[in-house]
Amino acid sequence: MRRTRILGMATATVAVAALSACSLSTTPGGSAGGEGGSDGPIVIGFSQATQQSPFYVQLREGAEQAADEAGAELYFADAGDDVTKQNDDIQDLITRQVDVLLINPVDPKGVKAGIAAAESAGIPVITVDRPVPEGAAAHVGRDNKAMGALVGERVAAELGDEGGKIIEIQGDAGGAVARDRSAGFHEAVEGNDKIEIVEGPYSDYIRSNAVTAMQDLVQTNSDVKAVYAHNDDMALGALQVLNENGRDDVIVAGVDGLMEAVDAIDAGGPYVATALNDPISLGQVAVDTVLKVQAGEDVEDYVDAGTGLIDTDNAADYVGDTTFALAGDDK
């Protein structure tokens, strides 16, 4: 397998829209009280990296649903992909005397200051989706390397012995999710030395950024046979550009199980695979873990919410009216 890296390509600038006038919003569970403690509901502070991706919007909704069902109170803060703001948000949540912190980090290393502040305040931290090097009582996520491998195996099977050029649309620079989804995919296809991967620019999991990247990549790689993106939103952006250029001969695959992608797979078009990553269930598992930690129960350092391949063989089983394909018993 040969590998080519594309550097210096422009990506679109996406304005971050404020969800409210305040940096923090509250989802009450059992009462309207603003402080935790034995006399009131458990208070959870949830610091999230962004709300600019539908995945993270749904992750928040899953966490809010689980907190509400448990009678807990949840304070939410959107960092807007700004690690400095996230550290400030965490400090605000600490000031609100939350009992436990759930953190979806913008930058796993950059959020170190916030985690240290929580430790000093005696507040346990659980991370979700993106792990941190140290300081968390537990991490709740899915095996992103396995996701990349599942999709890579399916793409390799589709290309067959002839192989061909694959364009890879990457997530975020330095992010563990992007790193693992890339590594799993590369390992899955490396047995075919006729496959070449062109590593495109980091598009931050945003469809419009992937559209901009793909407009250049499709022109400079006219012999492309497949596109793999680190999430379905970017894969759908790449598919849009391929359609605009009459390239229905190029197969497309992503990750996350976005229903728009599942529908495209079920329709039998060039979109061939995605990996299950239901954010609603992930948010629910994260809050369940938070509650166990707060109750003093033993939890694993890594809580795996599970995954699976969605392709042309089983896409019909996942089609529904949800934003993402549902996992497990929720399906």
pLDDT tens track for 23-37: 456 554 433 334 444
pLDDT higher than threshold 70 for residue 285: yes
pLDDT higher than threshold 60 for residue 21: no
CATH classification of 144-276+311-330 is 3.40.50.2300, yes or no? yes
Write down the pLDDT at residue 43: 98
Q: What angle do CA 85, 86, 90 make, to 5 degrees?
A: 115
Question: Which whole number is the average pLDDT over 175-203?
Answer: 95
pTM: 0.78
Question: Which whole number is the average pLDDT over 70-94?
Answer: 97
Confidence tier at 86 by pLDDT (50, 70, 90): very high
CATH architecture, range 24-141+279-300: 3-Layer(aba) Sandwich (3.40)
CATH 3.40.50.2300 domain position(s) in the chain: 24-141+279-300, 144-276+311-330
Least-confidence region, from 38-52, 54-68, 284-298, 311-325: 38-52
- How far, in Å, are 236, 309, 316 from residue 189 at the CA level? 22, 16, 26
Residue 225 near residue 159 (C-beta atoms within 8 A): yes
pLDDT per residue as tens digits for the range 190-243:
999 999 999 999 999 999 999 999 999 999 999 999 999 999 999 999 999 999
Write down the pLDDT at residue 156: 98
